[in-house]
Amino acid sequence: MKDFPRSYRVADQIQQELSGLIRHSLKDPRLSPMLTITSVDVTRDLSFARVYYSVMNSEERDDTQRALERSVGYLRRQLGSALSLRVVPQLQFHYDSSIEDGARMSALIDQAVSSNTTDADTDAGQSMSEQPGTDDDNPANKH
């Protein structure tokens, strides 16, 4: 049994080729210059490839999606000549929001940490003699 199925290898190869093709061959002005192909999932029979992408500016997402959909035929043709596959998978582009979600979660965590005040934090501001239960209150310490 193989640990690394053929569909994974093909997906990695498609991701590398598409990244280069989009960066160097596509001249569509709607295409975001900060486009990243985050991952590619290929079906086991290699007939479909879901291509996940992200853009730095979320406002460019719709234009980028339209530009990618318009160039599917060209990209498939170029992949066919670059890859040694009998059938080139049909490409389906999907926006990957995981980077935005991660940044949003990180900001929420930072906000929660910065606004978190516990009793230990407020007690740390008091001096040792003002805190209840210090050694001065302990009768065993009095001589």
Segments forming the whole domain that contains residue 78:
6-102
Given this model, what pLDDT does residue 48 score? 96
Q: Percentage of the chain surpassing pLDDT 90?
A: 54
135 falls within a domain: no
Note whether residue 33 is domain-resident.
Answer: yes
Q: What is the pLDDT of residue 116?
A: 80
In a domain, 131, yes or no: no
Say if strands 90-95 and 35-42 run parallel, antiparallel, or are unpaired.
unpaired
In a domain, 140, yes or no: no
List the alpha helices (DSSP H) in the chain: 6-24, 61-70, 72-82, 98-115, 119-124
Report how far residue 128's alpha carbon sits from residue 132's, in angstroms, rounded to the nearest whole number: 8
Task: Please state, in angstroms and rounded to a whole number, the distance separating the CA atoms of residues 92 and 40.
Answer: 10
Is the per-residue pLDDT at 39 higher than 50?
yes
Using an 8 Å Cβ cutoff, are 73 and 45 in contact?
no
Residue 73 lies in a domain: yes
The CA R_g of the chain, rounded to the nearest whole Å, is 28
CATH number where 10 lies: 3.30.300.20
**What's the domain count of the chain?**
1
Summarised one tens digit per residue, pLDDT across range 55-98 is 988 889 999 999 999 999 999 999 999 988 888 999 999 999 88
